């Protein structure tokens, strides 16, 4: 089970990185006027140098500004994902000599190196090339851009030593984070950049230390991020002299000694401190230690901390604390909830056993986002805080009922109490919650039928409980519902065709319940859920057949990407937290729990029901289908040839049905097919050859008497003449015996038999000559010979029978 099931995007991210990308130069106030025609032509020429399907002409030109008197381009800001291609040294971009603002971030320049010609843009004040796939060295000519105030080269694959920036004396913001820079930080970096306020060097391969000017009070640096590097020696002491710092990120320094927080006591203005993934000196976390009282955000995750940091008592301004992924034991102290400004608390993945104080210990806390998942907390669940927005306690051992006070928390948006031991019924107040996850408890009764019009619910997961009754019809009021899971309960109902009215439903799983009846009726027609991606109906009592057009209206989407990467099922776009829907899927023959499910992910599981008839040919329309499981039913007919069109298919299970005919050879073209099982059917013929099939286990094809070829034992190409020859030898022996009987019993037929034997012998001689003289027609003549012999023997037997009847009459 992944610890990323539920996570917080904390305030530190906003403070550290949000500031870096905000540019406030005065020239941004210039009003957009129409650029001169030659400049428009040059802009379109620049656009035509790349694949630009990601933006149209209007979007592209919306990011352009020109001087209000000359008509010359002064600003270019590309829309994200607009350009794909190589930025060449002769690009028309470098002809815009009056550019003052250039932002090419979040485009794909396909591993382009940084052209030297950037130095032609001598008037640049802002240059942002972040997340644009640039590689290689930063040209030394960048040091000629002496007007720069903002330089952002982050999230590329740039290499080499620290770029030459000492000439850029006007720099205010320098972001080189998430690259491959190595070596030491120049000792004169800070002295040579007197106006520098933001320095982000996080996630590189930098070593050594950082030099701080003797007159540290004159430093304007307010943000410093050095995390995820390989610094050695003493790096903390110089930093303690940067007394104007407000945001300091020292996560993953890879230093060999424990970090002493008391070194930062001189940073009187410090608001955010991130020292995660470092060993923390225990003495610096005690109540008699001192760190800046101004702190609003403190991140101590992955610090091997054993005891709850009592130093937090003194931090009356603390708003956000993260002590996740440590080894803190015991109970959360009662005084912690009395911190007056506390709003975000992340206690995930420790060894907490509960809370000090009464069941009302959280009631008056100011905390709004509270996550204490993946601990060892037992007993009754405390009454939640009055202003709670996000409450997660998954994977603990809480017992008893879910507090009804939850119904009085109008601010509550996310409730995740999954993987506990709660009993009783589901509170009848889920209407205003966006996310409700009560999975894997011991809840009883039915799902409350209390969803009113305009309900905000997007995820409802009550799987693996003891729920009975029917699906609540008021779910029709949940027009935002995207994820509905009621699997592994005791719900008894017919298939809810009425849910097709929900316009956003993407995932619907009701595995292992007591649903019954048909999955298709004449008045329903094809399956018509407009956005459905995952449909899990296995292990119920569904009956009947599926019409050929059953999947005609299934809308399987292509992969969606945003600026941060793929969009997941549980991407709810909140600045402080994100939620990931979790599925238990039978995939590639195994049951597994899956989080981070892409919106493009598409599966169908109808296994372990009583479905019959043919598999609908319309299944071939689902080109984005990843997994198909129709096993343990009573399907008949052939495997649909249209399955060859499901080009993304990775897992196919048709086992334990009554399918007949051959396995279509065209399925061998499914290049992603990693698992296939057609065991225990009535299939015949050769198994398609290729890695998709020959690499499967023999058990994937067992129980089909007529199948042959790898991976089954034996071959489909055994010598074809062996068995027929044995049969003919037996037939000859029988015919000889018959012949003797004829000679002994029926003298008048002897002469006719001798003549016929002579004819047969002459044919045998010709057959022998043909075999010796022509290898090319060997098989063809063998068949011809057998047919000839059979024909002659049949003629002889018929005539012989006539003679017998004639003799008997005589």
| pLDDT of 526 above 80 | no
Based on the domain organization, do 606 and 749 belong to the same domain? Answer: no
Cβ(705)–Cβ(727) below 8 Å? no
585 has which bridge partners? 592
| Whole-number pLDDT of residue 294 | 93
Over range 740-750, report the average pLDDT: 38
Where is the domain boundary, 691, 708, 725? 708
Angle at 194 between CA 193 and CA 200, to 5 degrees: 55
The model's pLDDT over 400-456, given as tens digits with 9 standing for 90+, comes to 999 999 999 999 999 999 999 999 999 988 888 999 999 999 999 999 999 998 899
State how many domains the chain has: 3
The model's pLDDT over 361-372, given as tens digits with 9 standing for 90+, comes to 999 999 999 999
Residue 115 domain-assigned (yes or no)? yes
Q: DSSP per residue over 67-84, as a string? A: -TTT--EEEEEPPTT--B
Over range 14-21, report the average pLDDT: 39
Decide: residue 562, CB within 10 A, 0-12 exposed, 13-18 middle, 19+ buried: exposed
Between 365 and 764, name the one with better pLDDT: 365
Based on the domain organization, do 747 and 647 belong to the same domain? Answer: no
Residue 236 domain-assigned (yes or no)? no
Residue 784 domain-assigned (yes or no)? yes
Question: Where does the pLDDT of residue 807 fall: very low under 50, low under 70, confident under 90, or very high at 90 and above?
Answer: very low
| Whole-number pLDDT of residue 741 | 37
- Give the CA diameter of the chain: 140
The model's pLDDT over 275-296, given as tens digits with 9 standing for 90+, comes to 999 999 999 999 888 888 899 9
Burial string for 672-699 (b: 16+ CB within 10 Å, else e) reads ebebbbbbbbebeebbbebebbeebeee
The model's pLDDT over 78-132, given as tens digits with 9 standing for 90+, comes to 998 899 999 999 999 999 999 999 999 999 998 899 999 999 999 999 999 999 9
Based on the domain organization, do 701 and 744 belong to the same domain? Answer: no
Based on the domain organization, do 644 and 775 belong to the same domain? Answer: no
Based on the domain organization, do 556 and 663 belong to the same domain? Answer: yes
Question: Where does the pLDDT of residue 727 fall: very low under 50, low under 70, confident under 90, or very high at 90 and above?
Answer: very low
CATH of residue 95's domain is 3.80.10.10
Q: What is d(CA 770, CA 388) in angstroms, rounded to the nearest whole number?
A: 94
Residue 292 domain-assigned (yes or no)? no
Based on the domain organization, do 568 and 657 belong to the same domain? Answer: yes
Domain ranges, residue 771: 735-809
Decide: residue 512, CB within 10 A, 0-12 exposed, 13-18 middle, 19+ buried: buried
Long-range pairs of 564-569 with CB within 8 A, sequence gap ≥ 24: 566/598, 566/599, 566/600, 567/598, 567/599, 568/596, 568/597, 568/598, 568/599, 569/482, 569/483, 569/506, 569/507, 569/533, 569/597, 569/598, 569/599, 569/601
| pLDDT of 658 above 90 | yes
Over range 776-796, report the average pLDDT: 41
Cβ(470)–Cβ(493) below 8 Å? yes
Task: Name which of 29-33, 334-338, 440-444 the model is least confident about.
Answer: 29-33
Based on the domain organization, do 537 and 599 belong to the same domain? Answer: yes
| pLDDT of 268 above 80 | yes
Based on the domain organization, do 667 and 782 belong to the same domain? Answer: no
| pLDDT of 763 above 80 | no
The model's pLDDT over 661-672, given as tens digits with 9 standing for 90+, comes to 999 999 988 989
Query: For the chain, what's the residue count?
Result: 810
With CA atoms as reference, report the closest residue to 363 among 385, 380, 341, 347.
385
The model's pLDDT over 145-199, given as tens digits with 9 standing for 90+, comes to 999 999 999 999 999 999 999 899 999 999 999 999 999 999 889 889 999 999 9
| pLDDT of 28 above 80 | no
Based on the domain organization, do 559 and 675 belong to the same domain? Answer: yes
């Amino acid at each position: 089970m992944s610890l990323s099931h539920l996570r917080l995007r904390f305030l530190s991210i906003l403070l550290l990185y949000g500031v870096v990308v905000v540019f406030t130069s005065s020239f941004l106030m210039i009003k957009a006027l129409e650029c001169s025609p030659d400049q428009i032509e040059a802009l379109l020429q620049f656009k035509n140098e790349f694949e630009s399907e990601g933006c149209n002409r209007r979007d592209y030109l919306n990011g352009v500004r020109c001087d209000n008197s000359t008509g010359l381009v002064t600003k270019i800001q590309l829309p994200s994902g607009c350009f794909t291609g190589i930025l060449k040294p002769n690009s028309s971009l470098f002809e815009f000599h009056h550019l003052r603002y250039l932002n090419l971030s979040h485009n794909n320049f396909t591993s382009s190196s940084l052209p030297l010609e950037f130095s032609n843009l001598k008037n640049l004040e802002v240059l942002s090339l972040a997340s644009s796939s640039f590689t290689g060295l930063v040209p030394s000519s960048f040091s000629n851009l002496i007007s720069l105030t903002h330089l952002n080269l982050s999230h590329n694959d740039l290499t080499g030593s620290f770029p030459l920036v000492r000439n850029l004396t006007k720099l205010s913001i320098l972001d080189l984070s998430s690259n491959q820079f190595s070596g030491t930080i120049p000792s004169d970096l800070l002295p040579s950049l007197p106006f520098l306020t933001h320095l982000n060097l996080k996630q590189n391969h930098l070593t050594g230390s950082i030099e701080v000017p003797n007159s540290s009070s004159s430093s304007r640096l307010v943000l410093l991020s050095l995390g995820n590097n390989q610094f050695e020696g003493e790096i903390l002491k110089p930093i303690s002299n940067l007394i104007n710092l407000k945001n300091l990120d020292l996560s993953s320094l890879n230093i060999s000694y424990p970090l002493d927080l008391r070194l930062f006591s001189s940073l009187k203005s410090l608001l955010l401190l991130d020292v995660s993934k470092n060993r923390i000196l225990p003495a610096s976390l005690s109540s008699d230690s001192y760190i800046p009282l101004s702190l609003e955000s403190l991140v101590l995750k992955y610090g091997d901390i054993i005891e709850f940091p009592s130093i937090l008592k003194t931090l009356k301004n603390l708003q956000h604390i993260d002590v996740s992924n440590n080894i803190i034991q015991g109970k959360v102290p009662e005084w912690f909830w009395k911190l007056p400004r506390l709003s975000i608390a992340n206690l995930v993945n420790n060894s907490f056993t509960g809370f000090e104080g009464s069941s009302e210990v959280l009631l008056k806390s100011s905390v709004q986002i509270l996550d204490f998942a993946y601990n060892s907390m037992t007993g009754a669940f405390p009454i939640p805080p009055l202003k709670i927005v996000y409450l997660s306690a998954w994977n603990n051992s809480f017992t008893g009922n879910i507090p009804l006070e939850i119904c009085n928390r109008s601010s509550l948006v996310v409730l995740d109490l999954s993987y506990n031991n709660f009993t009783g019924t589901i509170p009848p107040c889920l209407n205003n919650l966006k996310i409700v996850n009560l999975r894997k408890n011991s809840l009883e009764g039915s799902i409350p039928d209390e969803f009113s019009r305009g309900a905000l619910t997007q995820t409802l997961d009550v799987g693996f409980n003891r729920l009975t009754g029917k699906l609540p019809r008021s779910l029709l009021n949940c027009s935002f519902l995207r994820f509905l899971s009621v699997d592994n309960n005791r719900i008894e109902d017919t298939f809810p065709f009425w849910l097709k009215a929900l316009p956003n439903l993407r995932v619907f799983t009701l595995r292992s319940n007591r649903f019954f009846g048909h999955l298709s009726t004449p008045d329903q027609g094809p399956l018509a859920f407009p956005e459905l991606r995952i449909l899990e109906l296995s292990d119920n009592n569904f009956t009947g057949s599926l019409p050929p057009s059953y999947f005609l209206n299934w809308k399987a989407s292509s992969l969606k990407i945003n600026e941060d990467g793929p969009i997941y099922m549980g991407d709810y776009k909140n600045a402080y937290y994100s939620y990931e829907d979790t599925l238990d899927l039978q995939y590639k023959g195994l049951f597994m729990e899956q989080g981070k499910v892409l919106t493009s992910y598409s599966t169908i599981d109808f296994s372990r029901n009583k479905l019959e008839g043919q598999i609908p040919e319309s299944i071939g329309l689902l080109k984005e289908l990843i997994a198909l499981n129709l096993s343990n039913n009573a399907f008949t007919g052939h495997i649909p040839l249209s399955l060859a069109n499901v080009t993304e298919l990775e897992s196919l299970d048709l086992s334990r049905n009554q399918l007949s005919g051959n396995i279509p050879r065209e399925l061998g073209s499914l290049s992603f097919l990693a698992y296939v099982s057609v065991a225990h059917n009535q299939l015949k013929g050769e198994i398609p050859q290729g890695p998709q099939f020959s690499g499967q286990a023999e058990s994937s094809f067992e129980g089909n008497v007529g199948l042959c070829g790898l991976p089954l034992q034996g071959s489909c190409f055994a010598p074809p003449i062996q068995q027929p020859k044995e049969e003919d030898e037996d037939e000859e022996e029988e015919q000889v015996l018959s012949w003797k009987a004829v000679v002994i019993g029926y003298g008048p037929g002897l002469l006719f038999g001798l003549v016929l034997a002579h004819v047969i012998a002459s044919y045998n001689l010709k057959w022998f000559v043909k075999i010796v003289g022509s290898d090319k027609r060997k098989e063809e003549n063998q068949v011809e010979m057998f047919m000839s012999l059979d024909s002659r023997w049949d003629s002889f037997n018929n005539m012989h029978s006539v003679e017998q009847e004639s003799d008997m009459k005589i």
